[in-house]
Each structure stands twice: as C-alpha cells, then as structure tokens.
Amino acid sequence: MKILVVGTGAREHAICKAIEGNAELYSLMSNKNPGIARISKYQIGSENDIELVKKYAIQNNIDMAVIGPEAPLEKGIVDALEAEGIGCVGPTKEAAKIETDKVFMRNLFENYKIGGSLVYRVFDNYEDISNFIDDFGEDVVIKPVGLTGGKGVKIMGEQLKDAEEAKNYSKEIIDTKMGGHAKVVIEERAIGEEFTVQAFVDGKNIAPMPAVQDHPYAFDGDEGPITGGMGSYSDKGGLLPFLDQKAYDESVKIMEETVNAINKEVGPYRGFLYGQFMLCKDGPKLIEYNARFGDPEAMNVLQLLQSNFVDICEGIVDGNLKGAKFSDKATVCKYIVPKGYPGNAVPDQIIDVDERKINEAGAEVYYAAVNEKDGKVYSSSSRALGIVSVADSIEEAEKLCENATKYVKGDVYHRRDVGTTELIQKRIKHMEELKK
Ligand code: GLY
C-alpha cells in the first residue's frame, strides 16, 4: 500500500514513523524535515496547494492519504482526494467545520444537547457585544469564528486586562474579519486544568487515546506568551494525575456525541479528533476541537500505540475501526524551540542534534519546523524538535527526556519543568482547591 502523509512538522514525523515499515511512504511537506525525508519519498511544496497535493498523489498511485494540519482540511483536501478515489484519514471540508467554524461547533452542542458545553453567544456588532459583556459580569473568552493559526483566542483576565479590552478586541475581530468572518464568538471563561483527549474516528465508531496535558506558555512556571505547545506528558493508565476515570469517560462521551451529531448534520467524520477540555469543578468542559492530531500530543500517544497504525488508518477509511491498544506507560515530550520563539526567533540558525546520544539516553527525536541543507539542520521561526521519552512513571520519563535535551546544541531553549513532579503537584493542588 502507498500512503501519502501531508504536512511538515513533528506531528507528521510521528505519523510517518508510525507508518514506516508497514506501507510505502510518501510525503508532501513545505520544507525538508530531516526525519520525514529519510524514511519517505517526498515532494517539497505547500501542503495548502490542493492541486499540487492531488497531482503528486495521482502521479504516485497513492492508495491512502493521511492529513496532518488543519489548513488543507479547511481548503477541502479530503474532498479533492476522495473525488480521485484516494481514501483519506482526515475529515471532509464540511466535517472539519468542527474546528474551522466555531459557530458550527457551539451550535452543534446546543442543537444536539451535547454535554460539557459553555455559555456562548455569536455577535456581529459592537453594541450587542458591549451589552452582553456588561450583563454577563464575569470573565469571557473572545474567539474569531475561523482559523487563525492558534493566535486569535484571547482571554479576559489574561491577554485582555478587563471588559473594555475584551469589547475592543471583539470589535477588532469583526472589523478586520479575523479568521475570515465579520463575527465573533464570546464564551464564558472556564476555570480549571486543561487536558487533551484524542480519538481515531471512522464516521461512527471512536477509539479514544490516552489523555495528555500540553503546556502552551513559553517559559517555566507557565509564564510568558502563548505558543503552539512547549511540551506534554501522559500517564500510565491513560489518565492524568489530576484527571480520574469518570472525568475521562465523560470527555469520551462528549466526543462520541459530537461525532454522532456531525454525522447527522453534515455526514461522517473520519480521521483524528482532538478534544481540548478544561476539567472544571463540575466536570470536563469542551474548550475547542481540532480536526487533526495535536502537536505535541501526537508524539505522546503514537509512541505508546501498540496496534498497527496502518490497520487503524484503513479502519478509519473503510468505516470499520476495531479499537486501538496502547502500552501502559508514561510519556514526556519537550519541545526544543529557537530563542525568541514565539514571534522573535531568528531563522536559519544551525541546530546540532546528536540523535545517537539522544537514543542512547532513552529518548526519541521528532523533527518539526526545521530545514535540512547539506546534511545540517537549520531552524525556522517556529518549533524545532520534540524529544520524547517513555517510562513506567512520568517522573522517570521526565528525567530521561530532560537528560536527552543536552544533546541538542544551538541558539535554542526548552521548558525544563514539563513533566516535573513540582509542576504536576501544582496541577493536582489547583484541582483540589477548585473542588473545595
Ligand atoms: N497542542 C495544541 C494543538 O495541537 O493545537
């Protein structure tokens, strides 16, 4: 079988590694990711150029395509490839609206009475926004309707100092059509601990994966600007130290109900579904969905996957997913990023990665937004590589992972506290205090 993986980052490197050896691997990526390049036949080009992806797939008689990022999903890459008879692991343009259209997502929750929703309103004018925020009287979250590359969501009490700033930012979203719509979604601010549950979905059946916690803030202690995610951990048993089986099961139920609702509304959802939840004092609330694997979370779960990933992908395409087995271990992933990230990194700096030493230290390397030239790895302005360790406890995996980071040299940094006992205790205490 010939499988094409679309996308360039560490998530796609992890997907390629999971396929390696079980299919003939092709990839279409926007720059030369050294990890993907060495295990696949590849074409460099924009993954958002649907015609290019289609042409490359047809030329190479691709049987199945696995789509990594959300942007090509929004452009209808799956619709285009399926029209050529190529099975896709990824939702159609309509089904991907669960991520690409936040009004669609929240309305689905309301219309199908799906649990774990938040109070929300959709606005297209300043006056109504202002009245709502004043009447609501509590902190809100302001969201553009469409995709903004993770940069559009702002929270009152964090990036937005007060109600005035929240109103002004909402107006800016409408005036500039940020995310492609002259509309804004305003939601209640959920207080708790964030976690991720991902699932394989074949249109009706879902196979959930172990829960993961990502770390969006750039610096140790959850300080600094929001990033694409600086690292993540998962625990034995598929739960998290602050997340029990009941809350996990409730989250999975929310995802099942969502998949059923999408099916009724716009047709089957096939692919990976990423649920970003907040564990609040009264249970999990859905913050948002992604119509793809998480990054870094894909690295945690794919390292643990015991079932054959290609069989799972075939099950997704054929609508007969049989479930997925994961090893009962903990994982820690730390992202190495260029200094100045996010926003001010100087690209094209050499990063020296001693993969052999990293592997000997008990960790794996997943390359992200780097470019290989003449055998050397060059940075971009985004995340460079993920280092992942698997062990019997988070503590042990963290030690292995942190130790392995010393074999990456260059103008880079990483969060040292991801997966540390101290940070995890802080999460547990936070939840305990909320539940009092
Ligand atoms: N972990 C954040 C994301 O995948 O969007």
Same domain for 346 and 201: yes
pTM given for the model: 0.97
Residue 100 counted as domain residue:
no
Same domain, 138 and 44: no
Which pair of tokens denotes residue 310? 């290609």
> The domain spanning residue 211 has which CATH number?
3.30.470.20
Q: Which residues contact 266 (CB under 8 A, 6 or more apart)?
A: 92, 94, 95, 97
In which band, very low, low, confident or very high, does the pLDDT at 331 lie, cut at 50, 70 and 90? very high
Model pLDDT, residue 310: 98
Query: Which of 42, 77, 92 is the last residue in one of the domains?
Result: 92
Helix axes 394-404, 421-435, angle to 10 degrees: 140
| 154 shares its domain with 286 | no
State in Å: Cα 126 to ligand 1 middle.
30
CATH code, domain with 128:
3.30.1490.20
Could you tell me the CATH number of the domain that includes residue 38? 3.40.50.20
Q: Could you tell me the distance, in angstroms and rounded to a whole number, from the CA of residue 103 to the centre of ligand 1? A: 20
What integer pLDDT is reported at residue 151 of this predicted model? 84
- Is residue 258 predicted with pLDDT exceeding 90? yes
Q: Which atom of ligand 1 is nearest to the CA of 298?
A: 4
138: in domain: yes
pLDDT of residue 105: 97
In this structure, the answer to whether residues 259 and 378 fall within a common structural domain is yes
Inform me whether the pLDDT recorded for 150 exceeds 90: no
Residue 34: domain span: 2-92
Among 114, 426, 45, 146, CA closest to 275 = 114
Same domain, yes or no: 309 and 238: yes
Looking at the fold, whether 123 and 150 belong to one and the same domain comes out as yes
Ligand 1 centre distance from Cα of residue 61 (Å): 31
Last-in-domain residue among 160, 188, 216? 188
For residue 434, being part of any structural domain is answered with no
251, pLDDT greater than 90:
yes
Tell how far the Cα of 228 is from the centroid of ligand 1, in angstroms. Answer: 6
Q: Residues 233, 323: one domain?
A: yes
Distance of alpha carbon 325 from alpha carbon 303, whole angstroms: 12
- Is 12 a domain residue? yes
Query: How many domains, the chain?
Result: 3
Residues 77 and 124 in one domain: no
Mean pLDDT on 221-231: 95
Q: Does the residue 153 lie in any domain?
A: yes
**Ligand 1 atom with least separation from CA of 214:** 1
In this structure, are 296 and 277 located in the same domain? yes
- Boundary (domain end) residue, out of 142, 173, 188: 188
Measured CA to CA, the distance from residue 189 to residue 299 in angstroms comes to: 29
The pLDDT of residue 149 is above 90: no
pLDDT at 334 (0 to 100): 98
Mean pLDDT of the chain: 97
- The helix/strand/coil state of 431 is helix
d(CA 248, CA 229): 21
Q: How much of the chain exceeds pLDDT 90, in percent? A: 99
For residue 292, the ligand 1 atom closest to its alpha carbon is 4
Do 326 and 285 lie in a common domain? yes
Residues 175 and 217 occupy one common structural domain:
no
Query: Distance between CA atoms of 336 and 341, rounded to whole angstroms?
Result: 10
Q: Is residue 375 part of a domain?
A: yes
345 assigned to some structural domain: yes
The pLDDT tens digits for 186-203 are 999 999 999 999 999 999
Do 168 and 247 share a structural domain? Answer: no
Q: Is residue 304 part of a domain?
A: yes
Task: Give the pocket of ligand 1 (CB within 6 Å).
Answer: 214, 229, 290, 294-295, 297
- 127 Cα to the center of ligand 1, angstroms: 33
